[in-house]
Amino acid sequence: MSFRKTLLERIASYIPGYAGYKKKEVRRETDALVRRHVASILAQAAQSLVLSPADARLVAANPEARYLWDSVKAALDRVTQRIDKAPHGYSGFFDLVKVDEAALEEVYRHDLALVEYAKKIADAAAAVKSLRPGSEEWAKALRELLSLVEALDAEVDKRAAILKGIREPPQLK
């Protein structure tokens, strides 16, 4: 194993600020990968909720079940898109606004927690799929799934607040 620097590493060592820039680029890529992974888990959860034609007719025949079903699907789609399209975890090298390093670390810890939330949602969606559409157990499982999705949506809001350097939203007087 050679410990000699590559030509690019040697050149970069002469450029002031390059090491910090490269570190931030790696963080930015990691941030994007984590968010894509969370969005992928949520997309798979949504896919597991697809109803067969016969089950879709059962749900369509019950307005309350249909409303609940549509609410879960819409909320899941919304939060998936919000995570997938969320701003990067730090400002670019030439951006005027920079994200504080401590806030950036908090974003990464938060993003990793989002993975766990997404897994809970995927498990809850699998549980819904195992139940008879339109049944009371199915509706209860859908309500629990909707609650998880809404909690994840609130966590996405917290992520945006962290990026702005805000711990808690200001209180109205």
DSSP string, 77-128: HHHHHHHHTPPPSS--TT-SS---HHHHHHHHHHHHHHHHHHHHHHHHHHHH
Q: Find tokens 């995927």 and name the residue.
A: 122
- Per-residue pLDDT reduced to its tens digit, 96-132: 445 566 766 777 788 778 899 999 999 999 999 999 9
- Per-residue pLDDT reduced to its tens digit, 17-40: 555 556 666 667 777 788 889 999
- Per-residue pLDDT reduced to its tens digit, 67-107: 999 999 999 999 999 988 876 655 544 444 455 667 667 77
Positive or negative, the CA dihedral 7, 8, 12, 13 is negative
Please tell me the pTM assigned to this model: 0.74
Structural class in CATH, domain 31-163: mainly alpha
Helix (H), strand (E) at residue 141: helix 136-163
